[in-house]
Amino acid sequence: MLASILARLNFAEWADTLPEITHSAWDNFYQECAMNGDSSLPTTIVATFHGEVVGSVSLEVIDDIDKFPHYTPWISGLVVARDYRNKGIASQLMQNASRFAVEMGYSKVFLWTYEQETMYQRLGWSVIHRIPFKGRGAVIMVLDLEG
């Protein structure tokens, strides 16, 4: 149930940008995260408001940018439902994901983005690479969890 809500939220947001990720691929991913819970990766952190799912972010060992297999873990799939944006929910999700990575013993965490470089910089992340990815310019960023 939760997996299908998260799949719907992400598919609606990413279908234009990442059309190769089908609704059922999202659904399978979130079912795997639900099974893992907080014991292994991939896992998902969910934001709720009055019982409604309003956002999520995931932490996974590898991401779909396969150029950097030595980087792990990755924060991915940050999304907040449109009606709940600009309230600090994404910032809170990112903090919780970072805290979770620390608890799992990681000293760095990575992400890639097309458009949200400024937001991540505000949250303490640094740019380490700029690369073309699927026909657009992507930014690879790192957060030093010991810094």
Ligand X SMILES: CC(C)(COP(=O)(O)OP(=O)(O)OC[C@H]1O[C@@H](n2cnc3c(N)ncnc32)[C@H](O)[C@@H]1OP(=O)(O)O)[C@@H](O)C(=O)NCCC(=O)NCCS
User: Which stretch, 58-66, 86-94, 97-105, 138-146, contacts ligand X (CB under 6 A)?
Assistant: 86-94
Smallest separation (angstroms) from ligand X to the CB of 81: 8
Q: Which is nearer to ligand X, 13 or 27 (CB)?
A: 13
Helix axes 2-14, 23-36, angle to 10 degrees: 140
- Can residue 9 be called a binding residue for ligand X (CB under 6 A)? no
Smallest separation (angstroms) from ligand X to the CB of 4: 18
Site for ligand X in 24-83 (CB under 6 A): 78-80
Among 5, 11, 12, 13, binds ligand X (CB under 6 A): 13
Q: At 65, which helix (H) or strand (E)?
A: none
Q: Which is nearer to ligand X, 33 or 105 (CB)?
A: 33
97: left (phi over 0), alpha (psi -120 to 50) or beta: alpha
- Can residue 90 be called a binding residue for ligand X (CB under 6 A)? yes
Contact residues for 38 (Cβ-Cβ < 8 A; gap 6+): 100
For residue 32, give Cα distances in angstroms to 36, 39, 49, 144: 6, 12, 24, 27
- CB of 82 within 8 A of CB of 108? no
- Name the token pair of 10: 């992400």
Smallest separation (angstroms) from ligand X to the CB of 75: 9
Residues that bind ligand X (CB under 6 A): 13, 78-80, 85-91, 113, 115-116, 119, 122
